[in-house]
Amino acid sequence: MGRGLFSSVEYTSRSISKGYAHKSTREVFKARNVNNAMNPNGVDIRESRDSEEHPNSLAIILGLDVTGSMGSIPHFLIKEGLPNMMDNIIKNGVPDPQVLFLAIGDHEYDESSLQCGQFESSDELLEYWLENVFLEGGGGGNRGESYHLAWYFAAMHTSIDCWEKRKQKGLLFTIGDEPVLHNIPKRALDEIMGPGQHQNYSHVELLDKAREMYDVYHLHLRQGSNGNNQRVIDEWKQLMSDNLIIIDRKEDTSKVISEITVEHYKMKPQISEPDIDKTEELLTDTKEEMML
């Protein structure tokens, strides 16, 4: 996936015609159950691929907490955050971003604790996936949400050319105001993803697995119900270290994500001269072998 171009002009025009700026969260996000296209049950792989149109794809996953008051984040993104974020990323030197939206709930309480879109580049398709997120608004009294489902999905169900071809990691952001639940059992993964080769995982195991292909960040929003809980913040600091970003207002999320993405892209692996020489030698040897 990942075809098409992002136009903030086209996005803004549609946003005005749909009246996003004046509609409430529930008026914009009309789904009352999970969209079949975003149901992860039976999903094998979501792909971020290079193409003639996007030869240097960069995979970016946004895992959005859709429990309780956190529905304000998708609402902000679809009104103005998404076009601002994409504009800042592209205009500052990242030519081919491909974004996948995940919606995250609570696997112990919610019916739809994970929803998954596709990696996309165009304004129309990114809007489509974001607009079709189901804001279940659930969660429970278990002191946490299933942010680790985003890590699980990234590690087990994505294939990304930026890593597989260039050893440049993708980016994975989760956004919310709660702690992360510490475990997810095989039974829950069977229910969410469909029966398969699943096992019990801890949150630390899944974070480590996601980090093999992605630079993983958590944006902790102070505006939520647990946003100023120091115990929650300290727990995230211990887990994420410098990759925990404290956000005072939801309006800051798109700016922070774009800044991190641009800096990440600037630090992409470069092929050194010795590596180039070795590649040329390998190609020469291969050609000679084929001639024998």
User: 88-107 pLDDT, tens per residue?
Assistant: 999 999 999 999 999 999 99
pLDDT, mean of residues 165-173: 97
**Fold of the 8-291 domain:** Rossmann fold (3.40.50)
In one-letter notation, the amino acid at residue 132 is N
pTM confidence score = 0.90
**Of 202, 211, 205, which is closest to residue 184 (Cα–Cα)?**
202
CA dist 193 → 40, 62, 143, 236, 253 (Å): 6, 19, 24, 26, 29
Most confident among 109-113, 172-176, 278-282 (mean pLDDT): 172-176
Q: Are 69 and 224 in contact (CB under 8 A)?
A: yes
One-character DSSP codes across 191-232: HHH-SSS---EEHHHHHHHHTTTEEEEEEEETTSTTTT-HHH
User: 25-74 pLDDT, tens per residue?
Assistant: 989 998 888 999 999 999 999 999 999 999 999 999 999 999 887 888 99
Give me the residue spans of the domains in the chain.
8-291
Q: Are 150 and 104 in contact (CB under 8 A)?
A: yes
Query: Where does residue 150 fall: left (phi above 0), alpha (psi -120 to 50 degrees), or beta otherwise?
Result: alpha
Rounded Cα–Cα distance for residues 5 and 116 (Å): 21
Q: Place 1 in a pLDDT band, splitting at 50, 70 and 90.
A: low
Which 3 state secondary structure label does DSSP give 162?
helix
